[in-house]
Structure 1
Amino acid sequence: MRSRLRSNAGQAFPIYIVMVAGLLFLAFAFFAVGKASATRNGAQGAADAAALAAAQEARDEIGPAFLGSLLLPGGLNDFFGNHYISGAPCAQAQRLAASNNADVVGGCGWQSHFQRDEVTIRVETRNTVGDTVLPGTESRHATATATAVIEFRCSWKAPETPSEDSEPPSGDDEAEDGKPESPGPFTFRCDGRDRFEIDPLHPAPWEELGEALFAVHLTDD
């Protein structure tokens, strides 16, 4: 009887070893998945920060062109149809990605629409997932993509121009240096609530105007 019990115990012991080994492998596999997920989340955070940085830099950069367009008849429509984004926003995106231990790959993808610009940034982490029980993770980098938009959120009313039947301006309507007076102020209403005016020749600082006129945010599109 005792020999039979010893025999059963001896047969069960290898099964216990296999079960423990299997559980340990699953634990290490879950740990590897957790490390991969953390690396992926770090990549997404870097991509979000880089895309927002590029959009904010672009908003700062377009200030002179936007204000200059107010001096021309129909200038705002031309600005929204043709304004130009330089390479500075992409450089800013790389700086933000680097501060999050990642790099921008493939450059910055710009798409321009009327009153809306989008920049898509793809990043790759500098660190890898690391050594795990899963093969290949020691050289696996995480990648992520984010898109930010610069969106004009206002309507505007241009200064009234004199009609052809109106009397020509007198000498009193000219500035002291002999040049015509500047165009009257543009009236902007943003988000259907805020209303303010911009004098093309005496505008407020662009840092203040840019935030009021253009929204910058991430998008899930």
Structure 2
Amino acid sequence: MRHRLRTDAGQAFPIYVVMVAGLLFLAFAFFAVGKAAALRNGAQGAADAAALAAAQQTREQFGAPFYASLPGKMLDPFLNAHPVLGCPAAYGLASANRAHVTTCQPLPGGLRDRIRVEVEGRDAVDSPVVPDTEKTFPETEATAVIEFRCPDWESVDFNDDGVQDMYFFSCRGGEMLEIEPASPPPWSKVSKILYDVHLVDK
């Protein structure tokens, strides 16, 4: 009888080993999935920050061309064709968030310019139980928009000399803005009124 008990225990031992090995495999697999999700979330944060930085830098660079377009009634052409130039800021923000930019692409759209940024994280999933994960890096993208907030505007030529002396902007939210081309206010004071910067779905 004792001999049979020892035999049963010996037969059960390999089953325990297989079960423990299976549980360890599942644990490592779940860990790999969790790590991949965390790395992707981190990469998405980097992409969001990079896209916003690119849009904000672009908005800052609108100042001189915007003011230059006012006196000669060239505002409409400027609003429909201004350049998106903020990609250098995207590289810096992505790097600060452990990612690098693979694509920074302006998508002009008149009063609503978009910048799409694609990034790749620096940290690989690198799971011991999932093949090739040591070369698997999270990739994601984000799109920011620079939107003109004051589509209703008019200009006044007080001297009837063909030069516009004042521009009046009616902006969303009821904000009003007056700009005198001969003495324009600092761009930092008016840029956030004229242009809104935010993330959008691609």
Partner SS for 2:9: helix
Q: 1:35 to 1:133 in 2, by over 3 A?
A: same
Q: 2:137 aligns with which of 123, 138, 141?
A: 141
Q: Please report the TM-score for the alignment, with normalisation by the length of structure 2.
A: 0.91
Residue 50 of structure 2 aligns with an amino acid whose one-letter code is: A
Counterpart selection for 1:184 from 155, 165, 168: 165
* Corresponding residue SS for 1:141: coil
Q: Please name the residue that 1:113 is paired with.
A: 109
Q: 2:93 corresponds to which residue?
A: 96
Alignment of 1:1-221 (within 5 A): 1-73=1-73, 75-86=74-85, 89-106=86-103, 108-161=104-157, 183-221=164-202
2:28–2:127: 8 Å Cα contact kept in structure 1? no
- Of 140-149 and 191-200, deviating more is 191-200
The residue that corresponds to 1:165 in the other structure is: none
Q: Using the TM superposition, give the Cα deviation of residue 6 of structure 1 relative to its aligned residue in structure 2, in angstroms.
A: 2.8
- Determine the C-alpha separation between the residues in 2 that align with 1:204 and 1:79: 19
Residue identity matched to 2:96: S
Q: Quick check: 1:156–1:189 contact (8 Å CA) kept in 2?
A: yes
Residue 137 (structure 1) shift: 1.4
CA distance in 1, matches of 2:38, 2:164: 55
Runs of 5+ in structure 1 lacking a partner? 163-168, 174-179
Aligned residues: 202
Q: Which segment drifts farther, 117-126 or 3-12? A: 3-12
Shift of 1:182: 5.8
The CA deviation string for residues 64-94 of structure 1, in whole angstroms up to 9 with x for no partner, is: 1111211122x221112222234xx111111
Q: TM-score, normalised by structure 1?
A: 0.84
Q: Distance in 1 between matches of 2:173 and 2:41?
A: 37
List runs of 5+ in structure 2 lacking aligned partners. none
Verify the 8 A CA contact 1:188 1:197 in the aligned structure 2.
yes
Determine if contact 2:157/2:166 at 8 Å carries over to the other structure.
Answer: no
List, as ranges, runs of 4+ consecutive aligned residues in structure 1 with deviation greater than 4 Å. Answer: none
CA RMSD between the two structures: 2.0
Counterpart CA distance in 2 for 1:101 and 1:116 is: 30
2-side partners of 1:47 and 1:25: how far apart? 33
In structure 2, distance between residues paired with 1:160 and 1:140: 60
Percent of residue pairs identical:
50
| Matches of 2:126 and 2:191, distance apart in 1 | 43
**Counterpart position of 1:176:** none
Corresponding residue SS for 1:38: helix
